[in-house]
Structure 1
Amino acid sequence: MSKKLTLTALLICSTMVLLSQEIEMATDMRSQGKIYVVIAVMSVIFAGIVAFLVYLERKISKLEKQLKK
């Protein structure tokens, strides 16, 4: 029981230390305005994936309709 309590306390403390640190790269990118480029690229990639999935869904639906006939 004591080991579990000690381990839990250690994990909580280490998590708190990690959360209190700032991410240096993100701060630098935000100050230089590059974070918007990162967000734009991620948005384009996400939109591309969604468009591809919609395309596949339509194609699969057509194939399913053909199989039912």
Structure 2
Amino acid sequence: MLLLAALLLPVLNAAAQQAADSPEMADTLRQSGKIYVVVAVITVVLAGLLAFLISLDRKVGRLERELKDN
């Protein structure tokens, strides 16, 4: 595991350096105003996931109570 980490660390570090040096896509999206669309889509997806998890939690809680009563 340590050998694998030692071999991958320079590769990952170089990729992170390259990404930090030139965030061209973010600049392009910001300039054209499309970054707001990206943020809105991400927000809607996360809100949907949160609503689904809350719904699922309620259903599981209801089933647990039914099993406990029986």
What TM-score bracket applies, with the shorter chain setting the length?
0.7 to 0.9
| Larger gyration radius, structure 1 or structure 2 | 1
Matched pairs, number: 62
Q: 1:41 to 1:16 in 2, by over 3 A?
A: closer
Does 2:23 correspond to 1:35?
A: no
The gaps in structure 2 that reach 5 residues or longer are 1-5
Q: Kindly state the Cα deviation for residue 16 of structure 1 after the two structures are TM-superposed.
A: 7.2
Q: Distance in 1 between matches of 2:34 and 2:28?
A: 8
- The within-5 A match list for 1:49-68 is 49-68=49-68
What is the percentage of aligned positions where both structures have the same residue? 42
Q: Kindly state the Cα deviation for residue 20 of structure 1 after the two structures are TM-superposed.
A: 4.6
Aligned residue type for 2:63: L
Aligned residue type for 2:52: F
Does 2:25 correspond to 1:25?
A: yes
Q: 1:52 to 1:17 in 2, by over 3 A?
A: closer
Q: 1:15 to 1:41 in 2, by over 3 A?
A: closer
Q: 1:31 to 1:17 in 2, by over 3 A?
A: same
Q: Kindly state the Cα deviation for residue 21 of structure 1 after the two structures are TM-superposed.
A: 1.5
